[in-house]
Amino acid sequence: MLVHLSYQQLFNRAHISSRLVYIPPSIVFFKAKTVIVGLDHIGIAVNKIDNVLPVYQQLLGLELKGVKEGKSQRVKAAIFAVGETNIELLEPLDKESPVSKFLEKRGQGMHHIALRVNNIEKMLQHLKAKGVILIDEKPRAGIEGSRIAFLHPKSTGDVLIELCEH
């Protein structure tokens, strides 16, 4: 039996603990095979990448895949592979960067989680129809050649969520 829930009904049934949201799989349904296929990366806001690299390289033993600049996001990202996902250390390139504003308000720490989707346009349409506030109405270029879009934390249990399609 297929059950259709509004975003508010879905949110009411979600289990919220601190800043993490767990939505039981039994209540999530998507049409037209538009699905989340995995965790793409975790974005961590830092003041200076060089000051934090030793934690991930020496302490945790992770190998640095590379450092790239994301012009549209106005960040420099140090990328570490961890299994099938990545950790991205995000350093703002200027004071107007969303990451710079995040750091001023909250300090260093988890900035966002990125979920890999198989069709970003359909996922955005689906979420908008369910009442989710979209930061990006249309996908834009991501750091590693992917197409990305952000969902507003007001709609996602105070967690900034990025959708990624590779």
CATH code assigned at 145: 3.10.180.10
Q: Is residue 22 part of a domain?
A: yes
Calculate ∠ Cα 126-129-135, nearest 5°: 80
Measure the CA–CA gap between 55 and 162, rounded to whole angstroms.
25
Q: Is residue 115 part of a domain?
A: yes
Residue 71 has what pLDDT?
A: 82
pLDDT at residue 2 greater than cutoff 50: no
Q: Within 13 Å, how many C-alpha atoms sit on residue 142's CB side?
A: 25
**Which has the higher per-residue pLDDT, 158 or 17?**
158
What's the pTM value of the predicted model, to 2 decimals? Answer: 0.79
- Reported as a single tens digit per residue, the pLDDT across 79-136 is 999 999 999 999 999 999 999 999 999 999 999 999 999 999 999 999 999 999 999 9
Residue 144 has what pLDDT?
A: 85
What is the total count of domains within the chain?
1
Residue 19 has what pLDDT?
A: 54
- Full residue range of the structural domain in which residue 58 is found: 7-165
Q: Is residue 1 part of a domain?
A: no
pLDDT at residue 150 greater than cutoff 50: yes
Residue 1 has what pLDDT?
A: 35
Structural contact between residues 57 and 132, judged by C-beta atoms closer than 8 angstroms: no
Instruction: List, in order, residues 6 or more apart from 109 with CB less than 8 Å away.
Output: 44, 45
Residue 3 has what pLDDT?
A: 44
Q: Is residue 49 part of a domain?
A: yes
Q: Is residue 69 part of a domain?
A: yes
What is the 3 state secondary structure string of the chain? CCCCCCHHHHHHHCEEECCEEECCHHHCCCCCCCCEEEEEEEEEECCCHHHHHHHHHHHCCCCEEEEEEECCCCEEEEEEEECCEEEEEEEECCCCCHHHHHHHHHCCEEEEEEEEECCHHHHHHHHHHCCCCECCCCCEECCCCCEEEEECHHHCCCCCEEEEEC
Report the pLDDT averaged over residues 48-56: 97
Measure the CA–CA gap between 132 and 7, rounded to whole angstroms.
7
Confidence of residue 13 (pLDDT cuts 50, 70, 90): low
Q: Is residue 108 part of a domain?
A: yes
Q: Is residue 155 part of a domain?
A: yes
